[in-house]
Amino acid sequence: MNRLAGYGIAVPDTPLLIEAGIALALVLVALALGWLAGRRLGPPLADAWRTHLEGSIEGLAPRICQIVRHGVAAALLSIVAASYGWHPLSAFGIGLALGLATARLAIDVLRGLHLPRWAAWSIGAAILVAILSNAFGGFDNVTSTLEGIGFNVGRRRLSLLSLVSVAAVGVSLYALVRLANRVVNHSIDRAKSLDPTQKVLAQKLGAIGAVAVAFFFGVDLLGIDLTTFAVFSGGLGLAVGFGLQKTVGNLIAGIILLMDRSIKPGDIIVVGQSFGWVNKIGVRAVSVITRDGKEHLIPNENLMTQEVENWSFTDRNVRVRIPVKVGYESDLKHAQALMLRAATESPRVLKSPKPNVWLTSYGDYAAEHEILVWISDPESGVGNVRSDVLNRLWVLFKEEGIVIPVPRREMILRDPGSGLAGIAGVAPTAPPKEPTPDA
């Protein structure tokens, strides 16, 4: 080191300045190549990502260019840092650039996986400090300082270093599990050999497998002895038996429903007062969307223990019964032909199986019939089919003079003085009304 005369300022020797200049040039080259890779390779990779994984990993696609840029720069800077025994001045500059590039890479990936901003930036800051301190040999001092802040619990040492390590490993594994789940789910969705039920079951088993692998990998990475959990196994069993009984029951019921394929996404089911089509089978509940646009969340356990009507279990064809009453003074054969015509002309009614008309009984004031029609799209509603057929039948009955009867009441008047009785009159209870369309 030379010192400026009269000022006492230490100036590096010429070889060290040359080395620092070379290091700075290599850093600039690595950053430029990273920028160029992000500009040239980023857009094609983003397009390929959207093509193959669109809908599964929406957050990463807009960040692909930045991820490629910082990833390439970090890789090149790592090679530069490891290729020569740099002087602390040069090593500090290389380590600073490498730490910033790696931290930005981690932040972009974590934010792309929709992790909270504070978690992503905390991990980025930890990476920057670790790489920068390691660049000039101060990493051991940092870890020693963090290890010194803590206390002993039995034979275990709980320190700030262990807390930081657990947090970093936990966030990293959480991000990897999210990424793995989304990639696996999208790959299963694109599989043409699986039906919807098998896809949902495979996705759930894949998610459980990813969490299990991440757990054991994290335990091994942190050096945790699994025998330490033996003390808590009894308490955990009680917690599952009492507090989490319903949760575990719903999880197992959901897996059983998917395995026996009794209920699958897209089925039309009736559970109690809930009628609609199955939108999703979740870990806890089944999502059923009604014709009113309301989404009912029915616990999986209820579908295992209660009676469930599945209109599309083996066949999507559903028969709809439409009651019709005809006055006795009308021509029943002609009225039945008009009923059959109205049913046949309805657009949602299937031609095969063909509609049918039954005379069910002779009522008090009318001959009671049922129009039986078949539809193949029950998710579009049943009441609107009845409404369409009845509206068409109303027009046909009016044109052909078929009487739609109304209930009548016979009133008998008695004279208390003479003891005579007679029929005073007959009056309808209510005027006929057009049938109200059922939504």
pTM of the model: 0.50
Handedness of CA 280, 286, 291, 292 (dihedral sign): negative
List domains and CATH numbers for the chain: 12-189 (no CATH), 225-314 (2.30.30.60), 318-406 (3.30.70.100)
Both tokens of 416, joined, read 């208390």
Q: With H, G, I as helix, E, B as strand and everything else as coil, classify residue 11.
A: strand
d(CA 263, CA 169): 39
Tens of pLDDT along the chain (439 residues) come to 445 444 444 555 677 778 778 888 888 988 898 898 888 888 888 777 776 665 545 567 778 888 888 888 888 888 888 887 777 778 888 888 888 888 888 888 888 777 778 878 888 888 888 887 777 666 666 667 666 676 666 666 666 677 777 777 777 788 788 778 777 777 777 777 676 667 777 777 788 888 888 887 777 777 666 665 555 566 566 665 666 667 777 777 777 777 777 777 778 888 877 778 888 877 778 888 887 778 888 888 888 777 888 877 777 788 889 999 998 888 999 999 999 999 999 998 998 889 999 999 998 888 999 999 998 887 777 888 999 999 999 999 999 888 888 877 777 777 666 555 555 444 444 444 444 444 3
- CA-based angle 430:433:436, to the nearest 5? 130
Helix (H) or strand (E) holding 182: helix 160-189
Question: Residues near 191 by Cβ (< 8 Å), separated by ≥ 6?
Answer: 199
d(CA 61, CA 112): 8
Whether 310 and 269 have beta carbons less than 8 Å apart is answered as: yes
**CA 344 to chain centroid:** 41
Question: Residues near 346 by Cβ (< 8 Å), separated by ≥ 6?
Answer: 373, 385, 388, 389, 392
Of the candidates 377, 380, 378, 375, the residue with the CA atom closest to the CA atom of residue 343: 375
Both tokens of 191, joined, read 């599989």
d(CA 235, CA 409): 73
